[in-house]
């Protein structure tokens, strides 16, 4: 589980532990990962998803601790805002490195551990893969790229018994959303606008995404691979 210290990642980790899974929590926020690991009796691993040595070591630690690697959830992500005219090349590279290269690296080292045993990889993309917001070209590109990566990995590794699927969350109540709302001129007006986007009348919770991830990782989804599951309260079909 990457990006596991808070938000969607922490929600997925909690749900997997509830279901009886042994979980490794990987995050650049080592203190956050260790705190959650103490709560869940999980394995905390501090590192950067864009650094190959960190990723290789994390997979090795996970297998050494639990004896196998059956499920990988690529959740780590950041959103560096700015138009293509405003973004520096360094910020673009960092966005792609965390959101897309990180999923590639973890999958690269997880697949050999799953090959022959079977396994499930769940990539957390975003509705930004389908609908775009001003000022988010790097984020949108990274999330759309994750869907292409998901499809190709499903083709390449299906014969290995490895299923690869993606989840596209909409607005989810997380610390990242709170931080963004705190920076807008009128938090309450913005929140009303967001709620109006959703025919269900609410935004999502980490638990909503966790339930979808658990399903895709489980034997209940044994014939599902290369799929994209949108979990957004019908926001995108409402045209938002």
Give exposure, 162-172, as e/b (b: 16+ Cβ within 10 Å): bbbbbbbbbbb
Give exposure, 63-78, as e/b (b: 16+ Cβ within 10 Å): eeeeeebbbbbbbbbb
Catalytic-labelled residue, pool 139, 208, 210, 235: 139
Nearest 5°: the CA angle 62, 65, 69 is 45
Note the residue count of the chain: 240
Nearest 5°: the CA angle 68, 71, 76 is 120
Count CA atoms closer than 13 A to 93's CA, side-chain side.
3
109 is catalytic: no
- Please state, in angstroms and rounded to a whole number, the distance separating the CA atoms of residues 219 and 48: 30
Residue whose tokens read 């000022």: 135
93's tokens: 């590279």
Active-site residue list: 139
């Amino acid at each position: 589980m990457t990006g596991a210290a808070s938000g969607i990642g922490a929600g997925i980790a909690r749900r997997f532990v509830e279901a009886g899974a042994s979980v490794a929590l990987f995050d650049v926020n080592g203190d956050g990962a260790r705190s959650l690991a103490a709560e869940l009796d999980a394995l905390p691993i501090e590192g950067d998803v864009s650094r190959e040595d960190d990723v290789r070591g994390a997979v090795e630690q996970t297998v050494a601790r639990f004896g196998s690697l059956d499920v990988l959830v690529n959740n780590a992500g950041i959103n560096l805002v700015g138009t293509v005219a405003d973004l520096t090349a360094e910020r673009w590279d960092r966005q792609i490195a965390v959101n897309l290269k990180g999923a590639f690296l973890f999958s690269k080292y997880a697949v050999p551990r799953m090959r022959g045993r079977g396994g499930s990889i769940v990539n957390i993309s975003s509705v930004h893969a389908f609908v775009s917001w001003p000022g988010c070209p790097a984020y949108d590109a990274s999330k759309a790229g994750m869907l292409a990566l998901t499809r190709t990995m499903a083709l390449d590794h299906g014969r290995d018994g490895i299923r690869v699927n993606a989840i596209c969350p909409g607005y989810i109540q997380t610390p990242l959303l709170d931080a963004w709302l705190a920076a807008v001129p009128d938090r309450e007006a913005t929140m009303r606008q967001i709620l109006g986007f959703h025919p269900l009348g609410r935004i999502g919770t980490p638990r909503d995404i966790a339930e979808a991830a658990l399903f895709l990782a489980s034997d209940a989804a044994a014939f599902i691979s290369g799929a994209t599951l949108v979990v957004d309260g019908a926001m995108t079909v409402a045209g938002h």
